[in-house]
Every structure is written in C-alpha cells, then in structure tokens.
Amino acid sequence: MRYLSTRGGISPLPFTATVLEGLAPDGGLIVPEKIPELSEADLRRLRGLSYQDLAYEVFRLFADDLPESELRLLVDRSYATFTHPDITPVVKKGRVWILELFHGPTLAFKDVALQFLGNLFEYLLLTRGEYMNILGATSGDTGSAAIYGVRGKRNLAIFILHPHGRVSPVQALQMTTVTDPNVFNLALEGTFDDCQAIVKQLFGDLEFKRRYRLGAVNSINWARVMAQIVYYLWAYFRVSEAEGAEEVRFSVPTGNFGDIFAGYLARRMLGGRIERLILATNENDILTRFVNRGDYSVREVIPTLSPSMDIQVASNFERYLYYLFGEDPERVREAMVRFAEEGRLRFSEEEIRRVQRDFLSASVTQKETLETIRDFYQETGYILDPHTAVGVRAALEFLEARPMICLATAHPAKFPEAVSRALGFEPPIPEALKGLSERPRRVVILPADPAAVRRFIEENALQIS
Ligand SMILES: *Cc1c(COP(=O)(O)O)cnc(C)c1O
C-alpha cells in the first residue's frame, strides 16, 4: 500500500515513511492510495478472530512494509496494557449497543491508537538509529494517552504542556504521576491557548525543530486513524452475529473527525454494511451543520461538559473532503485555501446528498447530555460519560430496525463532576485511578513563555552528543 497527500504534492510513499512525518510536507494529510474492500471470503475469515488477530490482519493491509513478525509483536505489546480480555468489549444496554473503548491505561479511546503508535515509533526509531522528542499541548485526554503511549520507550521522549491548575484534577494526576525519565510534564502558568501557541511557535522554528527532532502525535497521524478502524470491524462482527443482522449503524461522538473518519473507512471496507454513521456533536456543531445543511463555517468555541469535543476546526475533515471531491487533490487544495481565508465552505445540493448517504447528524446540548446520563442510568443501570452520552442521545434520534452501536469514548470516572450533576453521585472509581493522589509526581511549573519552554527542552531533550 502506498500513501498520497490530500493536496497531491508528494510522490507515493510506503507506510513506514509516512508514520514519522505526521503531516505531508505540502501541508496536506496522508491518505492510502486505495481503500481495500473486504470480500465475502475475507469477512468469513475475519469474523471469528480475537481483537489482536483482527488488528494484525487489518494493519497488514495498510502497513505492508513492516516485517510481519514485528507487526505481530507490536500489536500484542500494544493491547497487553488493556484490562479487558476483549480489548474493546461491546455490550447491549437498553435499545443500543455500547462499544467500550475505555479499557486502556488512561480510560479513554485514544489509548487504542496511542498505545500502538508509541510502540510503532519506538520500533521505527530503533531500526533507523534515530530518536525523536515529541512535543504537544493538551487540555486533558490526548496528553495523558500520549504520555502512556511513550513512557519507558527507547529513543523517544515526550514533552507535554498543560495549563497549570486548569485541567481536571483526574487528568492532571493521570499525567503527572508518570515518573519515567523520558516523560516531561510542563505545567504552564497560562491557558490552554498559551500552551498551544508556544508549541506552534517552537514547531515553526525549523532550525530548532530539526536540531531536537521534534515530532507530534496528534490525531492527524495516519497510524492513529488506521488503529481505530479495527474496533468498528470488531463491533460489526459481534453485533451482526448477535442480532442476526446484515447491516448496523454506529453513533460516534465527534470533535476532530478522527474517530468517525476511521468509521468512514470501515464502512467503505465493509461495502456499506455500516448503513450510516451517526455524527454526534455537542454545542460546537460545525460538523452537524455541514452534514445537515452543507454549511461548514467556523464559530467561537463554546466550553461544554464534553470538553474533548469542544472543537471548531476538525483537523481530520480534510481527509473526508478528499473522498467527497472524488480524490481530486486540486479541489481539496482550493477548498482549504478558501477555508483559511473565509472561515467557511459551501457545498452543492448534490454533494450534500452524498454526505447524507454516509452520515446522519445531530447536535446535543449540555442539558440534553445530562438528561441522557440520567435517563440511561434509570433505564439500564449503566453510567455514561458525557462524551458517550452525546453519542447515545444522537443515536436515539436515529433509532430504527438496524442495530445501533454507540462508541463509549471515555470511562465515566474521568468526568465525575458531570456525572454527579446528572445522577447526584459520583461514578465508582476503577482500579486504574485508585491511589493516584498518593503516588509520586513529576511535573515542572514554568511561566507561559516560549523562551522558558525552549530552554527546558534544550536541557532535557534526547540528542546525539
Ligand atoms: C478525543 C475524544 C473525542 C473526540 O474524538 P475525535 O477523534 O477528535 O473526533 C470524544 N470523546 C473523548 C472522550 C475524547 O477523548
């Protein structure tokens, strides 16, 4: 399999060459040259596999320049850190199925991809005799999942900036109690936007970026999308079998369009057996306006109870545009230039109709999110986290004869305040979070000043001396 840029500016690359790059050098996103379609025989062969075996088979289609024995090891190592034998179990609750993606080390779905990405990076760097310093800013989930993906890995260090005192207590503890020497938590005396601006500035200094081999693990990395395809296929097999149904729907709480884009690819691979994907947004509804009215226009970010979806410009959206525009990189480039200038994109009636064959969409308010947590608990005894609740609420609007599978993207114990507002009590604390506050911490507090962060990286980064 070879890889292209959505903007057409690179010659085709093999998988391993794209992984360490992240973004394509022409500013576009990496996409596979073609999306493999699974035959009836493939489906019969894949249906009964364990999660790890299925992941191996899916990755082999996309990552065909990795030695097979190595790929096998990477998969096994990545999912050994999950606490459930099915890795991502799917359970029937009331009228829907819940696909639990939160059994990894940080209790959110990003572990599924980032555990694999950390191992993959380590392998690629070791075989090339190279090293990398990962730099990122976080307001919560991504940072801790990235830290747990990189901790203890050779040839790899990570610097994660978070706003001091402004991430949730659980999330701050999850990050700062990782004491491996290759993990650096920097708590900046400023806001999340300050952290992001500093990261952007340091990446923009090409000399600095090159000297310290700065890398990113953000959601545009192709290997992350690839890893997320697996659980759609996995859940499709489990649920279609249990319900004797040929077709299903998935509901996906969406922010950066990464998770749901993996669902789009799974839908193409399954030849439409995923009849529709439900794109669920919170009050930051740009993607819902896109699906329902062809209006993709940026507004102010509204802070909500589902903070990991408080996003306006969805960084993976460009990948979908590429397919919507018939894999025409010229049109993607034009659209992205126009979007950068005007902050909006418009689509034709015909295009909107095509989008609506892939997706149905609803935007869910915070009041509805809390109601859903409460009603769902009363009906089923099951506690939803606020992100999952957004997806469940949207799913209930589009329920019909086909089974509905709702992605549960975080464990409710990560968001005790929201759950407590809905239910009047906090969710039980899982093993992974017990005793966190007694553990030793490793965090450095710095002013929100690019020069201070730069100096810290210079003093602590991996480098060839
Ligand atoms: C990141 C995240 C999302 C959104 O996923 P995208 O891939 O950005 O659409 C939803 N829920 C939780 C809990 C998350 O951490």
Rounded to the nearest angstrom, the distance between the alpha carbon of 303 and the centre of ligand 1 is: 15
Decide: 227 and 112 in contact? Cβ < 8 Å: yes
Which of helix, strand or coil describes residue 397? helix
List the one residue out of 257, 247, 277, 274 whose CA is nearest residue 362.
Answer: 277
Locate 59 and state its tokens. Answer: 């990755």
Q: Going by CA atoms, what residue is nearest to atom 2 of ligand 1?
A: 308
Q: Is residue 161 part of a domain?
A: no
Question: Which amino acid, residue 110?
Answer: K
> What local confidence, expressed as pLDDT, does residue 313 receive?
85
Percent of the chain with pLDDT over 70: 100
321-329: average pLDDT: 97
Percent of the chain with pLDDT over 90: 88
Q: Is the CB of 219 under 6 A from ligand 1?
A: yes
CA separation for the pair 331, 406 (Å, rounded): 33
Residues whose CB is less than 8 angstroms from the CB of residue 13 and which lie 6 or more positions away in sequence, other chains included: 2, 3, 30
List the one residue out of 34, 31, 1, 39 whose CA is nearest residue 271.
Answer: 39
Angle at 91 between CA 86 and CA 93, to 5 degrees: 165
Which of helix, strand or coil describes residue 38? coil
The number of the ligand 1 atom at minimal distance from the alpha carbon of 388 is 11
Q: Is residue 2 part of a domain?
A: no
Of the listed ranges 77-86, 234-243, 271-280, 303-312, the one predicted with least confidence? 303-312
| Cα separation values, 132 from 200, 210, 220, 243, 450, Å | 17, 10, 18, 47, 20
Total count of domains within the chain: 1
Is residue 219 pLDDT above 90, yes or no? Answer: no
CA separation for the pair 228, 230 (Å, rounded): 5
Q: Is the CB of 309 under 6 A from ligand 1?
A: yes
Rounded to the nearest angstrom, the distance between the alpha carbon of 261 and the centre of ligand 1 is: 12
Structural domain range at position 284: 90-106+223-423
pLDDT band at 217 (very low <50, low <70, confident <90, very high): confident
Q: Is the CB of 259 under 6 A from ligand 1?
A: yes
Rounded to the nearest angstrom, the distance between the alpha carbon of 215 and the centre of ligand 1 is: 21
Locate 17 and state its tokens. Answer: 């060459």
Backbone angles phi and psi of 30, in degrees to 5: -80, 130
Q: Is residue 446 part of a domain?
A: no
CA separation for the pair 244, 216 (Å, rounded): 42
Q: Which residues pair with 33 in a beta bridge?
A: none
Helical packing angle, 450-460 and 192-204, nearest 10°: 60
Q: Is the CB of 387 under 6 A from ligand 1?
A: yes
> What local confidence, expressed as pLDDT, does residue 218 receive?
81
Residue 291 neighbours by CB distance under 10 Å: 22
Q: Is residue 206 part of a domain?
A: no
Q: What CATH number does residue 291 fall under?
A: 3.40.50.1100
More confident: 418 or 167: 418
Selecting among 34, 92, 93, 110, the annotated active-site residue is 110
Rounded to the nearest angstrom, the distance between the alpha carbon of 259 and the centre of ligand 1 is: 7
By most ligand atoms within 8 Å of CB, the mutation choice from 109, 217, 288, 304 for ligand 1 is 109
Helix (H) or strand (E) holding 96: strand 96-100
Evaluate the CA torsion angle 29, 30, 34, 37 in order and state its sign: negative
> What local confidence, expressed as pLDDT, does residue 465 receive?
55
> What local confidence, expressed as pLDDT, does residue 126 receive?
96
pLDDT band at 344 (very low <50, low <70, confident <90, very high): very high
Q: Are strands 2-5 and 30-32 parallel, antiparallel or unpaired?
A: antiparallel
Decide: 299 and 363 in contact? Cβ < 8 Å: no
pLDDT digits 0-9 by tens, 371-382: 999 999 999 999
Rounded to the nearest angstrom, the distance between the alpha carbon of 452 and the centre of ligand 1 is: 31
pLDDT digits 0-9 by tens, 142-195: 899 999 999 999 999 999 999 999 888 899 999 999 999 999 999 999 988 899
By most ligand atoms within 8 Å of CB, the mutation choice from 409, 414, 415 for ligand 1 is 409
| Cα separation values, 402 from 236, 246, 261, 274, Å | 12, 9, 21, 10
Backbone angles phi and psi of 346, in degrees to 5: -120, 150
Q: What is the DSSP string of 97-131?
A: EEEE---STTSBTHHHHHHHHHHHHHHHHHHHT--
Is residue 221 pLDDT above 80, yes or no? Answer: yes
Residue 438 neighbours by CB distance under 10 Å: 7
Q: Is residue 56 part of a domain?
A: no
Is residue 350 pLDDT above 90, yes or no? Answer: yes
Measured distance between the N- and C-terminal CA atoms of the chain, rounded to whole angstroms? 37
Which of helix, strand or coil describes residue 15? helix
Q: Is the CB of 308 under 6 A from ligand 1?
A: yes
Q: Is residue 441 part of a domain?
A: no
pLDDT digits 0-9 by tens, 437-458: 999 999 999 999 999 999 999 9
Q: Is residue 465 part of a domain?
A: no
Rounded to the nearest angstrom, the distance between the alpha carbon of 336 and the centre of ligand 1 is: 23
List the one residue out of 62, 78, 191, 211 whose CA is nearest residue 135.
Answer: 211
Q: Is 153 a catalytic residue?
A: no
Task: Share the mean pLDDT of the chain.
Answer: 95
Question: Which ranges in 151-274 belong to alpha helices (H)?
Answer: 169-176, 192-204, 206-211, 222-243, 258-269
Q: Going by CA atoms, what residue is nearest to atom 1 of ligand 1?
A: 308
Which of helix, strand or coil describes residue 157? strand
Rounded to the nearest angstrom, the distance between the alpha carbon of 255 and the centre of ligand 1 is: 6
Question: Which ranges in 10-109 belong to alpha helices (H)?
Answer: 15-19, 40-47, 51-62, 68-79
Is residue 140 pLDDT above 80, yes or no? Answer: no
List the one residue out of 35, 26, 11, 34 whose CA is nearest residue 333.
Answer: 26
Q: Is residue 334 part of a domain?
A: yes
By most ligand atoms within 8 Å of CB, the mutation choice from 114, 218, 252, 256 for ligand 1 is 256
pLDDT band at 312 (very low <50, low <70, confident <90, very high): confident
Q: Which residues pair with 30 in a beta bridge?
A: 5
85-89: average pLDDT: 98
Helix (H) or strand (E) holding 40: helix 40-47
Decide: 62 and 226 in contact? Cβ < 8 Å: yes
